[in-house]
Structure formats: C-alpha cells, structure tokens
Chains A and B, each alone.
Chain A
Amino acid sequence: MAKRIEASNVSSYYGDFKAIDSVSMTVEPKTITALIGPSGCGKSTFLRSINRMHEVLPNARIEGRLTIDDQNIYDPDVDVTAVRRMIGMVFQRPNPFPTMSIYENAVAGLKLNGVKKKSILDEAAEKSLRAANIWDEVKDRLDRPGAGLSGGQQQRLCIARTIAVEPQVVLMDEPCSALDPISTLAIEDLMFKLKDRFTIIIVTHNMQQAARVSDKTGFFSIDKTGDPGRLIEYDDTQKIFSNPSQKKTEDYITGRFG
C-alpha cells in the first residue's frame, strides 16, 4: 500500500526563479514526515513537486530525481495522471467541488478513473468517509452540498476524496491552517489512523503539530528573500525538537527566527 519516496538533488523553478535548491530526502513507507520552515522557504513547492502538481503552474519545472519505490516520477514515459493517483494531495484550504454533493465529492476521484458501478461507488464512499472520521456526521445527508459543511468537515471530506482512490502516499499542504483547534485535533487523530495505510508528508507552520504527529521532520529555510529554499536539517522529529544539529533549526524551533 504505502511506498517509499526518495528525492535526490531536487531543485524546483518558477520560470527563472529557483524556489528550492537541491533537496534530498528519503521518506519511509507508513511514516508521517513533517516539513517545517518559514513562509516562502519552498516547503509547499517541494511537496507539490512530489506529485507533479508543481508543473501545473506556467513555466514551472524541476531538476533532479524523484522516485517512488525506485520508479522515476518524472520519467518522460510516465503518465502524470497515474502519478497523481498514486500520490494524493490535500490542500491548504478545504476545496470540495462546490457543485457536488458530499457523496459525489467522496467518489469524484473514482468516477474520474472510470468506476461507474453504483455498488462499488457506494462502498468506496462509505469506506473513505469512515476512514476520514466523517461518516457519522454526514451519513444522513450524503446528498447535501459538500461545500455546506463546516471548514473542518470539508477538510475531512477532502481527505476522504483523496484516499478514496487508494493512493500510496498522501501529501498534505498545511491542511489545518484554515481550521479551528478542535477540527485540527480531529485531522491529527485522523493522520495517526491513516499512517497504517499510507505514507504521509505534511507541510505545517505549526511546530507543535509537527512535534505531535510526525516521525521525521525536515526543516527548510532561506537565507533571504529571492534565494532558493534549502533543506537545512532532516531527522527524527524527536531529535529535531530536542537536540537539533543545526544552529538555524534550533533558532527556528525556539522562536528566535522566522
């Protein structure tokens, strides 16, 4: 189910602007990896490079090598839609499809992949909504608009939509930054639960969150605006937050910088 992600010397560009410089890290299956760092340091860009969402933006490109279980994600022969199906993504702001019901949102990915049989869709909808800890809240109103839910529920619906297509890896780009603390807690609980099935990489601005949920933490930083972001330190979360080897990491996590 879950797969290993390996990045070696990944640099991402927006046109001529280099957003991240030569990032290398290995993410083990069934772990939660947190990416932290100040705004504009390239965490999100790196995350979007992993499922090739980076290249959706005009003139965006990457250099270096990214593999999932030793298959090159950026191989010219690889079907980009297959990569994205394998590596799902949850975005910063909850983005359920506004014209779709809760049910339709949950199975949107399956429908895109050509699943038409009602019984399969029903089963997948219930399974993924249950896995996203939202089934009990929505089971009586599956035909209501997904955008009518609260922010936290919408985000869990988006997680359900992402995991319904059974990806190997789930990327989360600040999934809780638009949510209140209780909804945030619900998502964090959910992440522990999903860890059994998926490899999770989460970008977060909330260092307590990184410390709470992740097994490993990567700290990104930039020297000054306009410079590319770099991976300063990548280690066990325990070590990063108690005894970081880099001065910059220590400054950041103790609040002296950023």
Chain B
Amino acid sequence: MGDYPSRSDNATAGDLGVTSRHAQGAGAGVYPSSNDEPPVGGGGALPKKARFSVETAFRALSTAAGAMVLVIIVAIAAFLVSKAVPALQKNNGNFLTETTWFPNDAEPVFGIAALAFGTVLSSLLALLISVPIALAIALFLSHYAPKRLATPLGFVIDLLAAVPSVVFGLWGRDYFQQPVRDFSIWLNEYFGWLPIFGGEGPFGQSIMLGALVLAIMVLPIVTSLSREVFQQTPGMNEEAALALGATRWEMIRTAVLPYGKPGVIAAVMLGLGRALGETIALALTLGITFDISFNLIQNGGNSIAANIANSFAEANATGRGALIASGLVLFAITLVVNMTARAIIYRRREFRDSAA
C-alpha cells in the first residue's frame, strides 16, 4: 500500500510531460525531440485525442461519398418523374395495358405493355439459354480443366465481356441472322404446332435472334462470376466429400454447388440486369413491332431500351416524356428482379453465415 502514493506522483509528472509534448503538434510529437521526453510506446499518462486529424477528414470524406449516392439517385428519380408525368397526363390510352406507341401524335396514345413484355421475354429466354452453358463452363474452368488451360480460357471469356454491345448487334443483324432464320424455318416446319414456333413468317429478325445475341452477351458475366464463386469453395469441404467416397461430380454436387448457390444467383441476376437494360444489340436484331406474342421465331419483338434508342430521335416533348416513363418502368422491373434475388439469397442466411 505504501507504494501507491509515490507511483501516482510519478504518473502526474508523466501526464504533464506528455501534454506539453502534444502542445507542439500532433505530428511532431511522434519522435522524441530530446532525451527528456518519454518514449513513444508508454511512460506517463495517456495522450489527448487530436481534435482534427486525418481520421476525421477521411470519415467526413467517406460519409460525403456515401451520401452522394443517395443524392444522385433521388435527383435522377426526380428528373425522370418530372419529365414523365406531363406526358402521362396527355396519354389517351392506359399506360400499363396499351400496346401501341404513338406518343408524338396530336392525340397521344401509348402504353408499356408490349415493350415490357418483349423486354422480359427476350431477357428470360437469353438466361434460359446462357445460364446452363455458363455454369458448365465455370465448373470446367474451376474444377476440371488443368490450370494451364483454365487461365487462358478464363481470359478469353473475360474478353468476350469486353466486346461492345453495338458490335454484337451488328454481328447479329448482318451475320447471325441467316443461320437463325434457317433454324427458325426448320423449327416452324417440324414444331410449328407449338405456338412459340408457329406463324407464317417471315422469320429471322425475331425474339429468338435477339435472345441468342443477348445470351452470348450475358454468358461471360455469369461464367466469370460463377467461376470465382466455385473457386472459393473451401478446400476442406471438397476434401471432406472426396474422403467420403465421392466422385468428382458428386463432390461438386455435395460441396461446390450448394456453397456457391447464393453467388450463382447473384451472377444470374447481374446477367439478367444486363439483358434487361441491353439497348443497341436488341434495337439492331429485333423486328420492332408493338404486340404481345409468345411467337419466338417470326419477325417481331421489341424491348423498352431498344424502343428508346429507336424512337428518341424523332420524338417531340410528349414523346420524350413517354420514353422516359418507359425508362422508369424498366427501372422498376430491374428493382423487382434485384429484390427477388436478394430475398432468395437471404432465405438460407443462417446456413451461409455460420459457415464463415
């Protein structure tokens, strides 16, 4: 007990020393300028907190950056709504159910139904085609291919994602259309009894062509993201499956696919996002008609984004407002898709979180 008073005396002395050292400036105080000062790591009382520091500045900067996102989104939404509402008020048709698009007439009639339908149909079809192929490629790259092959092949896949969409569009329109037309004629001949392959023609510039081009564009995104996810499967889980007597495919089914499921869903949704928003490739490959039809092979089809690209140049004020309104609908569709994906991912959250 007798020691305590003298120790607290020392502490007071140290406290003074440190405080005066900090008075010289926070930065300078890090290195002792003379031997009298206490060493950096200890000695004396705790130093005072700096009032303004890099920490404070960085915190402010990152908060501002975060807030900026919200400001930008609100600003865009406000702009879109303010442009869309006047056009919607002049609309003589029901915007949600009308299939025609005559916003530039004296008596404007326009509706989103056909466009939204075409957007969703072409995108879903594109996913239906590309996702199985993408997952197969991803599994091949992550678990089957030797490293010497997987690395360059993965690079080529990523390169495919870098091809501009207008190039895909032109390629689809000028080159890919012919084989798709031939295939469509064949489908029509033998499977014409199915409504989706029916019709009298002409064939080619169809939802099928648009969806195939979209599928090729979506493929690299889904492939490289799924591949990343599959590669992250903990090695010890793969070994656990193998040690139980699993073949390679059984190991993938037991350890890799369940583990990667949320990531794959996210990858598919990103692909769907790209497909829904794709503009110029569809503007070039679809037949541009305004009707709701499940026929995949007849000339026709349209999408919200393609319609905006095709009609914006000739649109008057009401026409532009109408196009902006259609853009809002596209935004809403994307939002719903994203929220659905999140709901799916979070459903079995506890199984995933406890794994971490």
Residues of chain A at the chain B interface (Cβ within 8 Å): 51, 53, 56, 58, 81-82, 84-85, 88-89, 91, 93, 95-101, 108-109, 112-113, 145, 147-148, 158, 161-162, 165
Contact = CB atoms under 8 A, between A and B. Distances in A.
Nearest to A89: B243
A145 B241 contact: no
A96 B255 CA distance: 10
Interface of B: 147, 234, 236-237, 239-247, 250, 254-255, 258-259, 261, 348, 350-352, 354-355
Q: Which 9 A-B pairs have the closest CB atoms?
A: A98-B355, A85-B245, A99-B258, A109-B244, A89-B243, A95-B236, A147-B354, A148-B354, A81-B245
A99 B244 contact: no
Nearest to A58: B147
B240 A84 contact: no
A82 B246 CA distance: 9
A148 B348 CA distance: 13
23 contacts: A51-B243, A53-B239, A53-B242, A81-B246, A84-B243, A91-B236, A91-B239, A95-B239, A97-B241, A97-B255, A97-B258, A98-B234, A99-B261, A99-B351, A100-B258, A101-B351, A109-B244, A112-B241, A112-B254, A145-B351, A145-B355, A147-B355, A158-B240
Given A97-B237, A97-B255, A99-B348, A84 B355 contact: no
Contacts of B237: 95, 97-98
A173 to B, nearest CB: 10
B245 A145 contact: no
Contact of B244 (A88, A98, A145): A88
A79 to B, nearest CB: 9
Contacts of B240: 91, 95-97, 158, 161
Contacts of A56: 239, 242
Contacts of A161: 240, 244
Contacts of A51: 243
Contacts of B351: 98-101, 145, 147
B236 A145 contact: no
B247 A81 contact: yes
A96 B239 CA distance: 11
B239 to A, nearest CB: 7
Contacts of A147: 351, 354-355
Given A56-B239, A91-B239, A93-B236, A112 B245 contact: yes
A45 to B, nearest CB: 14
B245 A165 contact: yes
Nearest to B255: A97
Given A98-B351, A112-B241, 19 more contacts: A53-B243, A56-B242, A81-B246, A84-B242, A93-B236, A96-B240, A98-B352, A99-B258, A99-B348, A99-B352, A100-B258, A100-B351, A112-B245, A112-B254, A145-B355, A147-B351, A147-B355, A161-B240, A161-B244
A106 to B, nearest CB: 11
Contacts of A91: 236, 239-240, 243
Nearest to B242: A56
A140 to B, nearest CB: 17
A56 B251 CA distance: 12
A145 B234 CA distance: 17
